[in-house]
Structure 1
Amino acid sequence: MGLLDFVKDIGSKLFNRDDEAADKITEHIMASNPGISDLGVTYKDGEVTLIGKTDSAEAAQKAVLMAGNVKGVTKVVPKIDIIEAASAGKDAASALEPSNVEYYVIASGDTLSKIAQKYYHDANQYQRIFEANREVIKDPDLIYPGQKIRIPLNAN
């Protein structure tokens, strides 16, 4: 599953009115800023556009997940300058969906241990998933169906 589409009725409820969505999502991302500078956020009809700069694709991925895992958001359009991608001759789209990361939507009955078992064949590796998603998952025991997370696939 790709990074940019989300389930509208799932996620943290940050805003009550569309006119406050951009400010609330900006505050949410900046509270756990994964490494985005000059952040700008717009919101219209469930679509969030993120503008900013970062040194790493991981920071951009996390900002997209933070914005997307908000109730009322169906899509995130990242317009983030990723310095490491540009210096490697990659475009931002390929940097956001690299081969060493998979995106996973949590299903009913999932735990981080079950997900770790599926991807790493070791339930005890759940902490690896938690660490890769600290900005999105505040407590490894509190995940919810429909939440989208990053699964790092590279060697540990």
Structure 2
Amino acid sequence: MGLFDFVGDIGRKIFSKKEEASEAVTNHIAEDNPGIENVSVKVEDGVAKIEGTADSASALEKAILMAGNIAGITSVTTEGVTIKSGEALAGDDEFYIIQKGDTLWKIAEKNYGNGAKYTAIVEANKEVIKDADKIFPGQKIRIPKSL
């Protein structure tokens, strides 16, 4: 597992001081925990280092996106995470960076040929997309390939 890059100056602002970052990001992931036991995040110079035991690759991918879509985080590392299932990351899904003018409907139309399937994208990203009408350029999401 490795390093995942993000745009550091966009996203949800959950901490204002560098000293608060590790605890804030850990708590953020723990609130909507996608399936990471003993989750802990250490943030240094914009790099969030996730530790814990993931139930699945999908759970870890969600935690990566949760951390990476926070303002002030430029990359996420996962060397400290074990995946119980032994799966590799990004198996059937792909990561997508939202562009200016994108809507979930347009993204679903492009990927599935049917905009109404945007709900599958919302469901796959429920820890990151709290409101389907509030996505932003630079935000990184998962696009499920198997529907």
Calculate the TM-score normalised by the size of structure 1: 0.90
> What is the alpha-carbon root mean square deviation over aligned residues?
1.3
Write the mapping of 1:4-153 to structure 2, written as runs, cut at 5 A.
4-78=4-78, 79-85=80-86, 95-98=88-91, 100-153=92-145
User: Shift in Å at residue 25 of structure 1?
Assistant: 0.4
Which of structure 1's runs of 4+ aligned residues deviate more than 3 A? none
Partner SS for 2:61? helix
The 2-side partners of 1:47 and 1:63 are apart by 14
Quick one: percent identity of the two aligned structures?
50
**CA deviations over 1:54-113 (Å, ceiling 9, x no partner):** 22111100000000000010100012110111xxxx5xxxx1222x11100001111100
The 1-side partners of 2:50 and 2:89 are apart by 13
Q: Which runs of 5+ in 1 are unaligned?
A: none
The 1-side partners of 2:142 and 2:69 are apart by 12
Q: Which has the higher helix share?
A: 1
Partner SS for 1:50? strand
Calculate the TM-score normalised by the size of structure 2: 0.95
The 1-side partners of 2:89 and 2:76 are apart by 12
**What is the count of residue pairs matched by the alignment?**
145
Partner SS for 1:42? strand
Opposite residue 89 of structure 2, the aligned amino acid is L
User: Shift in Å at residue 3 of structure 1?
Assistant: 7.6
Asked whether the 8 Å contact 1:3–1:65 carries over to 2, the reply is no
